[in-house]
């Protein structure tokens, strides 16, 4: 059911959903990055990792810690992270600037190794983008934005088969939104259709 005010018009005259309208950091992320196509391996691995860390937390919390995550995980270079050992796990668990969750830290290392392993079959980027649906949602309110899709369920299952961890269907749908595979910008938002992937 659509709300009375699905988008908020900012002082700059641009329409955004409420979640991207109050916090300047979230507004900048929404305006410049969220939903734009990610086509490089490091970028995709970073988004995959951060979405896993976000599970159970607010995205704002993770976004605020993003610079610290990048420092802690060597800019999310898959080869470097894939070589991490127990000393690195201890180092990361002692780093108060990031989210210190042992399961998520180990999953990031596991996923780096799986990312390296996927290269011989086209790589992580091609793999994730192969689950792009034939159409994208056209939500008019936050309530109409899906949290999963048949494609996110299939992607989660396929990634787990390739050895990835912390890649549930809800997390994978959030990844698909973040990297432009689906466009869930609200109809009426100034960002709707801006990725170039979808014309609606």
Active centre residues (catalytic): 29, 51, 59
Name the 3-class secondary structure at 9.
strand
| Cα–Cα distance for residue pair 25/31, rounded to 1 Å | 10
- 96: its two tokens: 């108060």
Query: Following CA atoms 79, 91, 54, 165 in sequence, which dihedral angle do they give, to the nearest 10 degrees?
Result: 50
| Cα–Cα distance for residue pair 184/121, rounded to 1 Å | 29
98 contacts 65 by C-beta, under 8 angstroms = yes
Residue 146: how many CB atoms within 10 A of its CB?
13
188 contacts 140 by C-beta, under 8 angstroms = yes
20 contacts 154 by C-beta, under 8 angstroms = no
| Cα–Cα distance for residue pair 137/39, rounded to 1 Å | 21
Q: At a CB cut-off of 8 Å and minimum separation 6, what does 133 contact?
A: 149, 150, 151, 181, 182
């Amino acid at each position: 059911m659509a709300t009375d005010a699905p988008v908020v018009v900012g002082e700059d005259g641009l329409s955004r959903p409420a979640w991207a309208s109050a916090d300047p950091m979230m507004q900048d992320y929404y305006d410049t990055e969220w939903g734009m196509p990610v086509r490089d391996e490091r970028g995709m691995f970073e988004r995959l990792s951060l979405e896993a860390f976000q599970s159970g937390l607010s995205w704002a919390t993770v976004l605020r810690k993003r610079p610290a995550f990048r420092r802690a995980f060597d800019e999310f270079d898959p080869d470097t992270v894939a070589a991490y050992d127990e000393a690195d796990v201890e180092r990361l668990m002692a780093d108060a600037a990031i989210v210190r969750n042992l399961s998520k830290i180990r999953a990031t290392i596991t996923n780096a190794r799986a990312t390296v392993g996927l290269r011989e079959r086209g790589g992580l980027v091609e793999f994730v983008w192969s689950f792009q649906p034939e159409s994208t949602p056209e939500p008019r309110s936050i309530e109409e934005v899906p949290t999963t899709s048949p494609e996110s369920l299939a992607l989660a299952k396929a990634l787990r088969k390739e050895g990835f961890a912390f890649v549930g269907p809800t997390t994978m749908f959030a990844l698909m939104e973040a990297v432009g595979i689906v466009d869930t910008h609200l109809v009426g938002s100034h960002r709707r259709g801006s990725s170039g992937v979808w014309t609606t």
